[in-house]
A and B are shown apart, each in its own frame.
Chain A
Amino acid sequence: MTKLLGALIAFALILVLWFVLSAHLHPWVPSPVATVEAAWKVLGTPELYRDLVATAERLVTAFVASTLIGTVIGIAVGLDKRVEAFFQPLLALMLAVPDPVYIIFAILGLGTGEVTGIVALSLVVTPFVANIVRSSVQARDTTLDEMAKVYRISRWRTFTSTLLPQLVPALITAGRFSFALSWKVVILVEALAQPTGIGARVYHDFSMFRMAPAFAVAIMFCVVMQIVERLVLQQLEQRALRWRS
């Protein structure tokens, strides 16, 4: 009840702030009413769904690739001191580079094709995932490794039965973080370098001074991402960690 009330108050405050801003910064900030009208109109056009699918494809590809690569690197770094010695400075460097730099270099190196966005996105997200997974591997309960050795459990079985389940909370955190970062970066990449997708559409509306549809599409996309996050990732988390409850 308290949570719901808090959320309602926060939502109401945002609306008030939006009204105030739209009154003072017209036409750069459209009013909530104009935005809802624009959203309604945009929802009826097939282009929105085409762009949404294009963005979703890029997002899923980059999200899966960077999560998998980051997880493999994180596990290897966490388990082996030599691998850690090699990768740790690289990861630190990659984490320090601002996201737009990756996007610019990807455009310079690969042009504005479909691969550019996926590569840029993977470069941004992978080091974060690797770092979260590495910390979790190094903080694992090593007494369980000892138990596995004593009972002569094979290395592969130890990996799948003992190590991987311990990494589930970190993998979920990494997945959620990676997802949140991915959809923000994919919008940026599309705005800068892609002819299709939600980012390209928002940028196109903005460059044509059509602020209401730009706002409407951006907000609708944020809402969709929140729903996906809550429906898919949170459900996955609850299922994977049901033994804790």
Chain B
Amino acid sequence: MSDIVIRVDDLSVSYGNVPAISNLAFNVRRGEIVCVVGPSGCGKSTMLNVLSGLLPPTHGSVSVNDQVLYRSGQPLPRLGYVFQTHRLLPWRTVRQNLELVLAAAGIPKAEWDGRIRSLLDVLQISRFIDSWPMRLSGGQRLRASIARALVIEPSYILMDEPFSTLDEVTARTMRHELSSIVARTRSTVIFVTHSIREAVFLADRLIILTRSPARVFEEKVVDIERPRLYEDSRIGQIEAEVVERVLDAWGLDDRKRAEAA
């Protein structure tokens, strides 16, 4: 098996005649955290839908572990997904939510309890194992949602701005914890965010998209050793460089707009 987990090749998606993604191409290696940033409405959600097996591409292909998605008769790969909102089933306890995906993934029942307990321990929510999600705080629900994604040991994990609804202090804690959990579990993660600083902090590699229809504007390796500090000046420096480069590409450069006017 090659080191490449996800291979996106010449991917295009259109809604009728409106293109949302155009000739997108990138790879994600095993154990890598790739953060995808792009302006609002550029096609990130469409890209996630294609990567998650929900939306077949109009053109091009997506392969996971060398198996092409959307080929008829082929089972979809095991996937973990952390959504913008937790999407836990509120009528099932944390344990029952995790059991639901374990059963769907075909994991033997004998392994369930061990997997659930060890992950909840790592995520520091083991005391809420039998709690209803609505009785947990936003941060605790997010941890449970991350546990759900990790518990099935997926081929890859998609994260769609999971920290955007948290307060900044909780979000910072969660970023640190996510970084160390992913390193420990050697998970392969595609993390979509609007926050360039968050992306730089978390990523091994950044994929910067253009405005819609999305294409890769630039890829950038974040060469800062782990564990990282959110306040690290090198993160701030890379963030500033990225912002400077995307301003024009995303049509947000006030200076140029003022000149044109």
Q: Is A161 among interface residues, defined by CB-CB distance under 8 A?
A: yes
State A215–B104 Cα separation when bound (angstroms): 59
Q: State whether A243 and B85 are in contact (beta carbons under 8 Å apart), knowing that A146-B54, A153-B101, A153-B104 are contacts in the complex.
A: no
Indicate with 1 or 0, residue by residue over B49-88, a CB within 8 angstroms of chain A CB atoms. Answer: 0001110000000000000000000001011010101010
State A153–B106 Cα separation when bound (angstroms): 10
Q: Is B221 among interface residues, defined by CB-CB distance under 8 A?
A: no
Indicate with 1 or 0, residue by residue over B125-154, a CB within 8 angstroms of chain A CB atoms. Answer: 000000010100000000000001000100
Q: Which residue of A lies closest to B75 (CB)?
A: A152
Q: Are B81 and A165 in contact (CB under 8 A)?
A: no
Q: Are B104 and A150 in contact (CB under 8 A)?
A: no
Q: Which chain A residues in 174-217 approach chain B with CB under 8 Å?
A: none
Identify the interface centre among A144, A146, A154, A243: most chain B CB within 10 Å of its CB.
A243
Q: Is A15 among interface residues, defined by CB-CB distance under 8 A?
A: no
**Majority secondary structure of chain B interface residues (helix, strand, loop or mixed):** loop
Interface residues of B toward A: which range? Answer: 20 to 34
A127 CB to closest chain B CB (Å) equals 28
State A151–B76 Cα separation when bound (angstroms): 10
Q: Are B78 and A147 in contact (CB under 8 A)?
A: no
Among B81, B100, B132, point to the contact of A161 (Cβ < 8 A).
Answer: B100
Q: Are B78 and A143 in contact (CB under 8 A)?
A: no
Q: Which chain B residues in 81-101 approach chain A with CB under 8 Å?
A: 81, 83, 85, 87, 89-92, 100-101
Q: State whether A243 and B134 are in contact (beta carbons under 8 Å apart), knowing that A150-B53, A151-B79 are contacts in the complex.
A: yes
Q: Is A162 among interface residues, defined by CB-CB distance under 8 A?
A: yes
State A151–B91 Cα separation when bound (angstroms): 18
Q: Are B92 and A150 in contact (CB under 8 A)?
A: no
Q: Is A157 among interface residues, defined by CB-CB distance under 8 A?
A: yes
A240 CB to closest chain B CB (Å) equals 9
Q: Are B100 and A149 in contact (CB under 8 A)?
A: no
Residues from chain A with a CB closer than 8 A to the CB of B247 are none
Indicate with 1 or 0, residue by residue over A78-90, a CB within 8 angstroms of chain B CB atoms. Answer: 0000000000000
Q: Are A243 and B132 in contact (CB under 8 A)?
A: yes
Q: Are B132 and A150 in contact (CB under 8 A)?
A: no
Q: Are A147 and B87 in contact (CB under 8 A)?
A: yes
Indicate with 1 or 0, residue by residue over A206-242, a CB within 8 angstroms of chain B CB atoms. Answer: 0000000000000000000000000000000000000
Q: Are A154 and B104 in contact (CB under 8 A)?
A: yes
Q: Is A26 among interface residues, defined by CB-CB distance under 8 A?
A: no
A162 CB to closest chain B CB (Å) equals 6
Q: Which residue of B lies closest to A166 (CB)?
A: B91
State A243–B148 Cα separation when bound (angstroms): 19
Q: Which residue of A lies closest to B92 (CB)?
A: A161
Residues from chain A with a CB closer than 8 A to the CB of B101 are 151, 153
Among B54, B100, B132, B148, point to the contact of A157 (Cβ < 8 A).
Answer: B100
State A188–B100 Cα separation when bound (angstroms): 48
Q: Are B104 and A244 in contact (CB under 8 A)?
A: no
Q: Are A244 and B52 in contact (CB under 8 A)?
A: no
Q: Which residue of B lies closest to A154 (CB)?
A: B104
Q: Are A150 and B54 in contact (CB under 8 A)?
A: yes
Q: Is B222 among interface residues, defined by CB-CB distance under 8 A?
A: no
Residues from chain A with a CB closer than 8 A to the CB of B81 are 147, 150-151
Q: Which chain A residues in 121-161 approach chain B with CB under 8 Å?
A: 143-144, 146-147, 149-154, 157, 161
Q: Which residue of A lies closest to B93 (CB)?
A: A243
A-B contacts, 17 of them at CB < 8 A, read A143-B83, A143-B87, A144-B87, A146-B87, A147-B83, A149-B53, A149-B54, A150-B52, A151-B81, A152-B78, A153-B101, A153-B104, A162-B89, A165-B89, A243-B90, A243-B134, A244-B90
Interface residues of B (CB under 8 A from A): 52-54, 76, 78-79, 81, 83, 85, 87, 89-92, 100-101, 103-105, 132, 134, 148, 152
* Further pairs besides A143-B87, A150-B79, A243-B134: 10, Cβ < 8 Å: A143-B85, A149-B53, A150-B53, A151-B81, A151-B104, A151-B105, A151-B152, A153-B104, A154-B104, A161-B100
